[in-house]
Each structure stands twice: as C-alpha cells, then as structure tokens.
Amino acid sequence: MRTVRQLLAEKPAEVFAVPPDAPVIDAVRLMADKSIGAVLVMRGGELAGILSERDYARKIVLQGRSSADTPVRAIMTAEVVTVAPDTTVPACMQLVTERRIRHLPVLADGGVVGVVSIGDLVKSVIAEQQVELEQLQRYIAG
C-alpha cells in the first residue's frame, strides 16, 4: 500500500500559503496563479488553517463580502484535517470521502511538509489498480 510520503516524493515540494491577516483576494490570486484549489494559512511556521475555493464561494461570494477587505482568518477553515507521511492512500481516501474535503496538509515533526489533494489520491489509486490489472492479465495469459 502506498503512503503519503511516496506521493509527496512524486510531486513538487512547494507548499503555497498565506498569513491569516492577508486579504482574501491575495489568497484567491495565489490559487489562480498556481492552478490550485486551496492554500494553507500559516502563522509563522505553524498551520493556522486552510482556505479553499469552496470557502471563498460560500463565505465571500454568497455572503456579499469584499475579498479585498476581508482577512483570510475570517473565512478560513481553522479545524484542519491533517495526515502524517506514513498515512496510507486508502486511509486518506476514507478521510476525504467522510469529511467531504479535497486537501490534506501533511505534518511531520510539528511542521507542514506538503499537501496531498484528492486528485493525487485518485491518481495513485488508478495507478495501483492498473498494476494489479496487468499482473492479473499476465497470470491468466501465462
């Protein structure tokens, strides 16, 4: 079974974050520039929350707030679901499904070491299933 550590090794190590006092518009610009669906909210080196496109849509757009005048801390998700590098892909899939979330920050030694998305998880599951399918086909043909 693959682990989060293995997924992180296959992707760029860069983690995108904003401070809690940044205006929401800065976080949205960062997400747009990097083609990502969420940014971490970091207070110094500590994870303070996560801000997703869903947070923006529900807490800025639908409530008629100004993204230029609203600080990230006002709309971020503060109770962040995190995983460790040794967490398995199936365990992560269960978390994102049950919690209805799309991003899992990865913590090790008290700090953020990466983020895995539902896309990373699905890609991994598909790759693993493809390997199993090929093995079964070789077995049947052999």
CATH number assigned to the domain comprising residue 83: 3.10.580.10
Per-residue pLDDT band at 110 (split at 50, 70, 90): confident
Beta strands in the chain (DSSP E): 17-18, 38-43, 46-52, 103-108, 111-117
Cα–chain center distance at 71: 21
| DSSP helix/strand/coil, 130 | helix
| DSSP helix/strand/coil, 51 | strand
Q: What count of other Cβ atoms lies within 10 Å of the Cβ of residue 9?
A: 11
pLDDT at 94: 97
Is a pLDDT exceeding 80 seen at residue 136?
no
The total number of structural domains in the chain stands at 1
Average pLDDT of the segment spanning 11-35: 96
- Domain range for 112: 4-141
Q: What is the pTM of this model?
A: 0.89
